[in-house]
Structure 1
Amino acid sequence: MSVEKALLNRKTVRAFKPDPVPKALIEELVEIANRAPSNGNLQPWRVIALSGESLEVLKTKAVQKLQQDGFEQPEYQVYVSPMPEPYRSHRFAVGEALYKTIGVAREDKAGRQAQFAKNAELFGAPLGLFFYIDRRLGPGQWMDLGMYIQSLMLLLEERGLSSCAQGYWSFLHETVTSVTEASTEWMLACGLAVGYEDKEAFINSLESSRQPLGEFFHLKE
């Protein structure tokens, strides 16, 4: 598969088959993705994978935390508030498209909450990857981490795996770290649900829109 095809095929999958991801395969892809660029070759990322019993422990803890106390205070600002345009409209549009795809009306708050709650189950994925960054570092290294994650997501696509990037876990970072046992000098950035797409799940038919070229690219000669 070409890089172009992997990029065009990649999408956010929100329903996975339970089939396990081979350990050797995920180790191979995580290592290949380590060739991603980083300023000064800092390589400021750490990746912790959870599957099997460990993943089930996280799911249980996440549900209990939400039921008892609600979300935790994230360690970084996930979204600015208020969200300026055109970004607010972009976010609103994809949310509306998602719920329309699964037939959940705007006024159906229970239905929307039920769908959102599936984040805590990693949408049924058998593998969760959790990305950490050294908390002593700054915005430049967050860009490095993003390039690593994108590289890994394209490699997953090439090998027939699907994924769902989840900033959601930044709101449960203490719960996640109680399972991953990451050192306190590392900050949780996000999670990534990984597995094989359930192609029969209608929610996976959603393809989010993209802004036209002229809105974000300008060539001056």
Structure 2
Amino acid sequence: MARDNTESSKEVSEVEKVMMSRFANRFYLHREVDLEAITGILNAARYAATGGNVQPWRVYVLAGAAKTALADAIATAHETASGEHKSEYNYLPAPLPEPFASRRNEFASVFYGSLGIAQEDMAARAVQSARNCRFFDAPVGLIFTIDRRLEKGSWLDLGMFIQNIMLAAKARGLDTCTQEFLSRYHAVIRTQLPLAAEELVVCGMSMGFGDPEWARRRPQMPKAPLEEFASLHGF
């Protein structure tokens, strides 16, 4: 007997469960990730959609001493001369229009509030932000670049590649956190990694086994309901 389409449409697939369970994790266990798992994730992620099969991504994956060296260099730059470092692109406009500004403010309130950090406590917020420099103490750090000669369409492709990595990692029991913060330290990153001149640093990513204690008490970040962002026609 054929299954009722309405009934089946309400079921959540295993892929969708992975998508909805993923979140930006900033707290990790001191537990190594096998190289086989990392290469498996990257092998799956390379099947991301890409216009004209351009495949505009490059990723540098670091662990152990290599990750420590990069983290130390970035942390030193952040502590001593943060004002001298700036990303090569603008992630968000200033000022940020509505409703996006309100959503960003809500994120800050929910996230920092979960850590017991008051909205106005800029010093404590700065300490938490500085943890970006060390990939939030995750065992694996990734740096993503794109050829600066490409256009915005290729950035869409890179985003799908990064999303594939996050989902493949989650499916293997690993957590991730993308880090636009690290793009401002592209000059420092170049001293540690063999980037070509045309490579533009887009972001970093932390990857590892998330701290289960944090996973239990972390707040659920609010997401806009479907009717707020989708317009359906002809159904």
Query: Equivalent residue of 2:145, what SS?
Result: strand
Provide Cα deviations, 1:115-152, integer angstroms capped at 9, x if missing partner. 11111121110101111111110100000000011111
Counterparts of 1:114-133 in structure 2, within 5 Å, are 114-133=127-146
Offset at 1:203?
8.9
Residues 27 and 137 of structure 2 are in contact (CA less than 8 Å); yes or no, is this contact kept in structure 1?
A: yes
Is 1:26 the counterpart of 2:48? The answer is: no
Residues 14 and 204 of structure 1 are in contact (CA less than 8 Å); yes or no, is this contact kept in structure 2?
A: no
- The AA in structure 2 aligned to 1:4 is E
Instruction: Give the Cα–Cα distance (whole angstroms) in 2 for the partners of residues 10 and 77 of structure 1.
Output: 25
Offset at 1:172?
0.9
From the superposition, tell whether residues 197 and 173 of structure 1 become closer, same or farther in structure 2 (CA, over 3 Å). Answer: same
- The AA in structure 2 aligned to 1:2 is E
Instruction: Give the Cα–Cα distance (whole angstroms) in 2 for the partners of residues 67 and 11 of structure 1.
Output: 28
Long gaps (5+) in structure 1:
none
Query: Equivalent residue of 1:201, what SS?
Result: helix
Q: Which residue of 2 aligns with 1:76?
A: 89
Q: Which residue of 1 aligns with 2:66?
A: 54
May I ask how many residue pairs the two structures share in their alignment? 221
Instruction: Give the Cα–Cα distance (whole angstroms) in 2 for the partners of residues 204 and 70 of structure 1.
Output: 32
Residues 14 and 203 of structure 1 are in contact (CA less than 8 Å); yes or no, is this contact kept in structure 2?
A: no
Counterparts of 1:95-134 in structure 2, within 5 Å, are 95-134=108-147
Instruction: Give the Cα–Cα distance (whole angstroms) in 2 for the partners of residues 154 and 202 of structure 1.
Output: 17
Query: Equivalent residue of 1:200, what SS?
Result: helix
Q: Which residue of 1 aligns with 2:16?
A: 4
Report the TM-score when normalising by structure 2. Answer: 0.90
1:156 corresponds to which of 159, 169, 186: 169
**Relative contact order, CA 8 A, sep 6+: which one is greater?**
1
- The AA in structure 2 aligned to 1:193 is S
Instruction: Give the Cα–Cα distance (whole angstroms) in 2 for the partners of residues 106 and 33 of structure 1.
Output: 37
Query: Equivalent residue of 2:59, what SS?
Result: strand
Provide Cα deviations, 1:178-208, integer angstroms capped at 9, x if missing partner. 2122111111111110000011237961221
Provide Cα deviations, 1:79-123, integer angstroms capped at 9, x if missing partner. 111100000011110011011101111232221111111111211
Report % sequence identity. 34
Residues 50 and 180 of structure 1 are in contact (CA less than 8 Å); yes or no, is this contact kept in structure 2?
A: no
Is 1:176 the counterpart of 2:195? The answer is: no
Runs of 4+ deviating beyond 4 Å: none
Counterparts of 1:129-148 in structure 2, within 5 Å, are 129-148=142-161
From the superposition, tell whether residues 153 and 96 of structure 1 become closer, same or farther in structure 2 (CA, over 3 Å). Answer: same
Offset at 1:215?
1.2
Query: Equivalent residue of 1:219, what SS?
Result: coil
Root-mean-square deviation over aligned CA pairs: 1.4
Q: Which residue of 2 aligns with 1:188?
A: 201
Offset at 1:165?
0.6
Query: Equivalent residue of 2:129, what SS?
Result: helix
Residues 156 and 162 of structure 1 are in contact (CA less than 8 Å); yes or no, is this contact kept in structure 2?
A: yes
Query: Equivalent residue of 2:28, what SS?
Result: coil
Long gaps (5+) in structure 2:
1-12
